[in-house]
Structure formats: structure tokens, C-alpha cells
Chain A
Amino acid sequence: EAQVTQNPRYLITVTGKKLTVTCSQNMNHEYMSWYRQDPGLGLRQIYYSMNVEVTDKGDVPEGYKVSRKEKRNFPLILESPSPNQTSLYFCASSPQVEETQYFGPGTRLLVL
């Protein structure tokens, strides 16, 4: 089944404890991105990747890192999480930029 997967789906952590949210797609898509969704603020892009080894900042990159070493994987890294990073996170992919975008199931993160 063609899909975007994310893990974990739910995570409660404490301030400063490094974490990684994995994202993988099995559709051979070139473009991948990370969003966070907060009440009243909508979906905001954190980072995106046009292709392997090519990543760039979105609107809200502070406090996050990404890497794109393989086409299928695009992990999101929070080196030192803070409570203001509590949010719902989505990974998405599309065949190329500006084409149909497919979203992962989301990761609910709570930072205490």
C-alpha cells in the first residue's frame, strides 16, 4: 500500500531530551516536508526537501533539524525540545514539488 508512515504516533517527553520522529514513504517521491499544526495557527512548514541531500528551511525551522540521506526517509530531530514545541506534526510527500501531497498520520508531541 502506498503510504507515508510516521513514528511514534504519540510521544510525551521532557524538556531537553533529544528525540527523533521518523518519516518514511514508499512511493519513490522526490519531495518531502514537515509541518506542525497548532490551534489557531494552521499548518506551518518546518523544513522541506526537494531531493536526497537537499533540504531547506520552511517558516518555523528554529529548534528542529532534518536530514535526507535516502529518498524514502526524512526524519525530524528535536535536539533539545521545549514546551513550545508541543504540537501535532505531519510529514508529507509528493512526486515532485507542486504536485499532489500525501500526508502521514501525524505525531502528537507533548513536551513537559
Chain B
Amino acid sequence: GIQVEQSPPDLILQEGANSTLRCNFSDSVNNLQWFHQNPWGQLINLFYIPSGTKQNGRLSATTVATERYSLLYISSSQTTDSGVYFCAPAWDSNYQLIWGAGTKLIIKP
């Protein structure tokens, strides 16, 4: 099945900094999603982005499907951006999302 690798695994930044999170995948995809799990455990869908670029406030995402990667950009980080960011690039044959291991982001005040 498809392999998913997220990098970096951990990232610690000061408030106000910018960051780029990467998701590499081993096969073609057509429904990549980015999620944020906050420190209280809630999972929020950030982007559905099988290709191209989308922006939502300080967050944006780009997927280059032909090169098998997606990037999540966070600008002017705030402490509320802390948490784990998951990439889920595809569904398997049992109709389950395939998840990356996540990038744990800590934003220090």
C-alpha cells in the first residue's frame, strides 16, 4: 500500500515564526487531506487538497501530485497552532484513511 512520510517529526518555534511541514507519499493520490489535532485532542480538517494550492488565513497548502508531496505552510505562528499536524493522502481498499505519523508542532510564547 501507499507509504506516507511526514517531516519533521517535531518542530519547536517561537510565536510569530513561519513553518513548512512536508508530506511525502509513495503513490499517486487524488484526495489528500491535512488535519490539525490540538493539545486537547480535537481533530480539525484544515484542507482537502488533492492538487494545487489553497489558503485559509495564515495557513496554506500546496500539493504537487506528480512529484508526490504536499506542503503545509503556517505563517506568523500563534500558540494556538500547537498540536500535531497529520497528512492523510489517500483511502485504502477498505475505505479507511491512510494517515501519516504526524508532525508535532510546539509554538512558544
Residues of A within 8 A of B (CB): 31, 33, 37, 42-43, 45, 48, 50, 56, 58-59, 88, 90, 97-103, 105-106, 108
Contact = CB atoms under 8 A, between A and B. Distances in A.
B96 to A, nearest CB: 4
15 contacts: A33-B96, A37-B41, A42-B99, A45-B96, A58-B96, A59-B96, A97-B91, A98-B95, A99-B31, A101-B45, A103-B35, A103-B42, A103-B43, A106-B42, A108-B41
A11 to B, nearest CB: 14
A33 B99 CA distance: 15
Contacts of B94: 45, 56, 58-59
Contacts, number: 50
A97 B30 CA distance: 13
Tell me if A's interface is mostly helix, strand, loop or mixed: strand
Contacts of A106: 41-43
Interface of B: 30-31, 33, 35, 41-45, 48, 86, 88, 91, 94-97, 99, 101-102
